């Protein structure tokens, strides 16, 4: 699987700048292009998603692959809490909690009518989004698309299920197939012995972001289930 990354944006919560993330460029969230009334309704999850997507495509109407392991779980957890105490659910909160809400809101705000997918596949969600992106490019459904991955740290009541470090983060990148003679990335699965033990690894999405920034010749991306080799081929 081979692809070129033209534009790239990443955001990580300032208070979560943990060891291993020093190479990532820090950016303040920029939502100045969203009307104040709309901005006030956005959750932290939605804000970091919109920030990175806009940084990558501007007003260009690219097709989008959106991925997230848990979606806007803090918002969903709030809805579940309301159900438990038999409180009335907010229709707006419910509508903004669905998995494709972030990319849907972005399409409205950015007047983007291109095709969009929303993907959830456990701790391999961004890998699945990359595979789907490559398939769409390879079958000529589009010449270029944007991949956006977003995840929030698990709410306190779900921390006992964590199998990787919990970091609020978002990244977006524009992808296309390589032309003759230019640099590109390739991604291939490699043999790996899975484990069910809790892990202190960074999410693969953040490992991937670090690798994109560093452009190291080879980087192993892995979680407690699978491993992938990301290779940068200089042009």
179-199: pLDDT as tens digits: 888 899 999 999 888 776 667
168 part of a folded domain: yes
213 part of a folded domain: no
Q: Which domain holds residue 58?
A: 8-180
What pTM was estimated for this model as a whole? 0.92
Higher pLDDT, 120 or 216: 120
What CATH number is attached to the domain comprising 81? Answer: 3.40.47.10
194 part of a folded domain: no
- Burial of 48-63, coded b for 16+ CB within 10 Å and e otherwise, reads bbbbbbbbbbeeeebb
Q: Which residues are registered as beta bridge partners of 175?
A: 5, 145
100 part of a folded domain: yes
Number of folded domains that form the chain: 1
pLDDT in tens, 86-133: 888 888 888 888 888 999 999 999 999 999 999 999 899 999 999 999
Distance, CA of 5 to CA of 146 (rounded, Å):
10
113 part of a folded domain: yes
pLDDT in tens, 65-91: 999 999 999 988 888 888 899 888 888
234 part of a folded domain: no
């Amino acid at each position: 699987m081979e692809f070129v990354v033209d534009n790239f944006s990443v955001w990580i919560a300032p208070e979560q700048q943990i060891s291993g993330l020093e190479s990532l460029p820090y950016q303040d969230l920029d939502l100045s292009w969203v009307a104040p009334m709309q901005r006030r309704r956005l959750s932290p999850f939605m804000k970091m998603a919109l920030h990175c997507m806009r940084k990558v495509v501007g007003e260009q109407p690219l097709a989008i692959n959106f991925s997230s392991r848990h979606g806007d779980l803090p918002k969903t957890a709030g809805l579940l809490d309301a159900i438990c105490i038999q409180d009335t659910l907010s229709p707006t909160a419910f509508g903004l909690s669905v998995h494709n809400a972030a990319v849907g809101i972005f399409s409205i705000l950015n007047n983007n009518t291109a095709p969009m997918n929303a993907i959830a596949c456990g701790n391999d969600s961004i890998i699945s989004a990359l595979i789907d992106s490559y398939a769409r490019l390879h079958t000529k459904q589009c010449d270029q698309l944007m991949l956006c991955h977003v995840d929030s740290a698990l709410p306190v009541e779900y921390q006992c299920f964590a199998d990787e470090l919990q970091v609020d983060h978002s990244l977006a990148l524009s992808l296309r197939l390589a032309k003759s003679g230019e640099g590109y990335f390739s991604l291939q699965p490699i043999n790996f012995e899975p484990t069910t033990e809790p892990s202190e690894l960074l999410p693969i999405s953040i490992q991937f972001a670090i690798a994109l920034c560093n452009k190291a010749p080879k980087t192993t991306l892995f979680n407690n289930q699978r491993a992938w080799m990301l290779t940068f081929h200089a042009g």
